Structure 1
Amino acid sequence: MQLIHCPWCGPREEVEFHYGGQADISYPDDPAALSDQEWAEYVFYRDNHKGPFAERWSHSAGCRRWFNAVRDTRTYEFLAIYKVGEPVPEVPGLDTTKTEVRA
């Protein structure tokens, strides 16, 4: 069993958490103006590469808060945990060119 560190509750077993997709994806400013193709790309198209990856997680069986984590998709190791709205931590190999801080 792997432990995931919740920023509010501390380390807990992974069964208490739910994956929420790629972190720091901004909601479109005017979603009604998007074409069907643009909306589909926003909803379904996400980066999917090997190595460090910024993700959104929820401590669904605990405090129920959302937070971000950098996880190595090759090893499943959590490399960094940070609250939503905080800057993405510097992690070797993490591509931060596509991330932006959301509050």
Structure 2
Amino acid sequence: MRITCPHCGARDRREFYYLGAEDYLHRPAEDAAPAAWDAYLHLRDNPAGATRDLWYHEQGCGAWLLVTRNTVTHEILGVRAVDGEATE
């Protein structure tokens, strides 16, 4: 699988570290109810099809990327830096 970094271009997926679903970008407020924190920390969907995941370009520019990919085919549908720059 190849991921196109908006800063470095197309790279092998082994240059990247997978964090998980984009849910990590939607952290509850500090004073949120315990149920909101429980959902944020422990509850994850496992869909078949298109997902949006966080990847870190560990052996490259050090950017956090939001990668849209199909979990069935492993096709990369889009990549953008978490700060907004898009590719593909």
Give the structure-2-normalised TM-score.
0.81
Whole-Å separation in 1 of the counterparts to 2:38 and 2:5: 31
- RMSD over aligned CA atoms reads 2.1
- Aligned twin of 2:28: 28
Task: Give the number of the structure whose residues are more often strand, by fraction.
Answer: 2
In structure 2, runs of 5+ residues without a counterpart are none
Tell me the secondary structure at the aligned position of residue 76 of structure 1: coil
Whole-Å separation in 2 of the counterparts to 1:46 and 1:7: 27
Whole-Å separation in 2 of the counterparts to 1:83 and 1:66: 6
Q: Does 1:81 align with 2:70?
A: no
- Aligned twin of 1:94: none
- Aligned twin of 2:14: 15
- Structure 1 vs Structure 2: percent identity of aligned residues? 36
Whole-Å separation in 1 of the counterparts to 2:19 and 2:72: 18
Give the structure-1-normalised TM-score.
0.71
Using the TM superposition, name which of 58-67 and 39-48 deviates more.
39-48
Higher relative contact order (CA 8 A, sep 6+): 2
* CA deviation vs aligned residue, 1:15-40 (integer Å, no higher than 9, x gap): 101111111531111x35432x4322
- Aligned twin of 1:44: 42
User: What number of residue pairs does the alignment pair up?
Assistant: 85
Tell me the secondary structure at the aligned position of residue 63 of structure 1: coil
- Aligned twin of 1:67: 65
In structure 1, runs of 5+ residues without a counterpart are 89-103
